[in-house]
Chains A and B, each alone.
Chain A
Amino acid sequence: MLKLRIDPNAVAWRWNGTAYVTPGGRSELAPFTHPLVEQVAATDGTRTAIIVRERAPGGATVSRDLVAVTADELDYITDQARRWPLDYVLIETAPHRPVRLTAGAVRSTPLFLAHQDGILHGSWDMADLQPYAGGLHPKEVTRMLVYRPRYSTDTAFAGIRRLTERATATFGGDLVIRYPEPVLHAAPRALAVGADVLAAFTAAIDMALDARPLDPDATLCHLTGGLDSGSIGIRAARRWPGRINTATLVIIGAGRNQQIRRRAEIRDKVPFGPHDLCLDTRDLPMFAPGCARVRGELVSPYDEPLHQHFVALNRQIAGLGAHTVVTGLGGDEMVAVGSAESAQAARDKREDFDLPWLGPRARAGIEYGDDGIAPPAMAGGITLLAAECVAPPLLQTGLWPVHPFAHQALVELGDRLPFYWRELKQLQRRHLATFGLSEDACNPKARESFAELVEESLMLHGIPLLRRILDEGSPLIEDGFLDPDGLKGMVAALESETYREDTHSKLVEVITLDAAARAFL
């Protein structure tokens, strides 16, 4: 939600109409301009607190100018800032003292930090920090290559850190980021007699939707056909009939016709707004020569795997006049089933690091994957990472993301639900059924997935890019994360054997990381 450049020795702030600046421009703090984002600031003449935050409902328009307060009042202000229920970043400065940044628990958008020559740099867009990327980070690159992501202050690049939820960054010469205490989660519980789970789910969705002053006429819901975006979007449409427009990528493969059919039924039976943006991925394979990643542009390795598709869709959404996008992100995590609860879940989660292209440094790094990771947050680590994945392409188009499933009300309900409500996403299925939707709409029989698009993309454009890695080299090979012989064998297998989704699809990360390494390093 902001971009910053802070010299701890230049902290005499003023608001200039678009940013907080200091004399001579040595420091600058630019909040993201959006109706759902605001900023306030106060100073006691020595210390200054600048707070960039998501707007809460019912709040009056606030002044961005620095307010003169007493020292006690400033203590009150920073204490209150840390209690803000939505996303925020609190920046505290004082002359000749390190600058301190504290993030909120709701990380709607990321903040990456780097420093050089005594200056702290930060942005929601990793591309802004490219000058400070110092090489590949062994632990994080390993996590990404083996598809075992962990939420932490590490990024794929040494020198670029992530300010994680509720963490505090202190900078004055060096940068230290301190994790907070763990958020405790409830274990599953038995339901009380007469418990109305579906009513509770609806109430929790409402609480999540009401957490921000959404403008239904400028808010669009993803409606992918999936159970999660469907659960949220349908409730939003019922709350604000005729006003919530929708958008999706249309998949290819066996589930395509079903996706189109189910979405048509949902939109026919539920009072969404008149516009339904559908970007067809047919004839739009990933990694095409003209896409930003392949052209060598600065695209974070964390940004959307289907980057070009979502960039195009986001432009269409913005063109419709929407400024906020509501998603179903986090729905899987809300009803996650643990390995101890289900033998199937245990089999599903069984980790397989038998990837022939892993280099020696990646193989050696696997055992350290959990070192230094963030403690439990309210939202799951995957939800937080996924939110970070979708945010930059949205913000680049002036759109703000809202993920209701990351709200405390839904997370806590999900934590407590008995296994049989979470298993196979019964909660979402039964919720959809309450809207009079058919068996087809609530319980699709064919898989609706991007897996076929990934397969087609790898075969068409992925193989040449993998061959480029082998022919031209890659920082991933130089640093020991990729084994060229193993990769060569896998490319040959791709060209001559039947595609094996479980293994071959993981080559997407090889291509994405290589593209990012070439662009950033």
Chain B
Amino acid sequence: MTTMKTVMSERSSAPVARLAPFTAPDEPAVAVDDLFDGDLELIVQGPEIRNDYKKIAGSSDAAKTYDTTAT
């Protein structure tokens, strides 16, 4: 990875400002794991999960776009 520091280490501040529009912003961390207990298990979702096409129990089907009425 090429960092701004690597590129700019021997240059003045003007070039740094010049590249600022190209620099990705710092993003706030997504800290959801504090909410949970136990080990974090990461998986590779299979096609049937990542292309989940729910039918009756809530659906994004073009013909049946509705929330389930079951509670």
Contact = CB atoms under 8 A, between A and B. Distances in A.
Contacts of A200: 32, 35
Contact of B42 (A79, A185, A332, A380): A185
B14 interface: no
A80 to B, nearest CB: 5
Interface string B8-27: 00000001001111111101
A111 interface: no
- Pick the most buried of B28, B30, B56: most chain A CB atoms within 10 A of its CB: B30
Interface stretch (A128-136, A292-300, A369-377, A464-472): A369-377
A319 interface: no
A348 B60 contact: no
Given A73-B7, A409-B32, A186 B42 contact: yes
B69 A192 contact: no
B25 A42 contact: no
A412 B25 CA distance: 21
Interface in B34-61: 34-38, 40-45, 47-61
A69 interface: yes
Interface residues of A, number: 95
Contacts of B19: 69, 73, 76-77
Contacts of A89: none
Given A85-B27, A449-B64, A443 B71 contact: yes
A127 interface: no
Nearest to A352: B55
Nearest to A374: B50
Given A190-B36, A416-B35, A83 B47 contact: no
B60 A150 contact: no
Interface stretch (A10-18, A59-67, A169-177, A275-283): A59-67
B30 A62 contact: no
A349 B51 contact: no
A91 interface: no
Nearest to A190: B37
A40 interface: yes
A373 to B, nearest CB: 6
Given A184-B44, A349-B54, A59 B25 contact: yes
A60 B25 CA distance: 12
A505 B67 contact: no
Contacts of A239: none
Contact of B51 (A73, A381, A408, A454): A381
A80 B5 CA distance: 13
A380 B51 contact: yes
Nearest to B70: A424
Give chain B's interface secondary structure class: loop
Contact of A185 (B1, B25, B43, B48): B43
B64 A190 contact: no
A56 interface: yes
Interface residues of B, number: 56
A189 B69 contact: no
B65 A450 contact: yes
A348 B56 contact: yes
Contact of A76 (B7, B50, B61): B7
B22 A332 contact: no
Nearest to A72: B7
A380 B49 CA distance: 8
Contacts of B50: 151, 376-377, 380-381
Contacts of A509: 62
A192 B64 contact: no
Contacts of B61: 147, 505
B41 A382 contact: no
Given A73-B7, A190-B36, A149 B51 contact: yes
B65 A449 contact: yes
B36 A195 contact: yes
Contacts of A505: 61, 63-64
B24 A84 contact: yes
Given A80-B22, A80-B23, A409-B30, A424 B7 contact: no
A192 B35 contact: yes
Contacts of A380: 50-52
Nearest to A411: B30
Interface in A359-383: 370, 373, 375-377, 380-382
A189 B68 contact: no
B64 A189 contact: no
A373 B47 contact: yes
B24 A349 contact: no
Contacts of A454: 63
A386 B60 CA distance: 8
B66 A448 contact: yes
B42 A184 contact: yes
A228 B66 CA distance: 10
Q: List the 3 closest pairs (A to B, CB-CB), nearest first.
A: A505-B63, A449-B66, A381-B51
Given A76-B3, A182-B44, A227-B67, 11 more contacts: A67-B18, A70-B7, A73-B19, A151-B50, A189-B38, A195-B36, A204-B32, A425-B68, A444-B67, A451-B63, A451-B66
13 contacts: A59-B21, A69-B18, A75-B2, A148-B51, A192-B34, A227-B67, A329-B60, A332-B58, A339-B48, A373-B47, A412-B30, A425-B67, A454-B63
Interface of B: 1-4, 6-7, 15, 18-25, 27-28, 30, 32-38, 40-45, 47-71
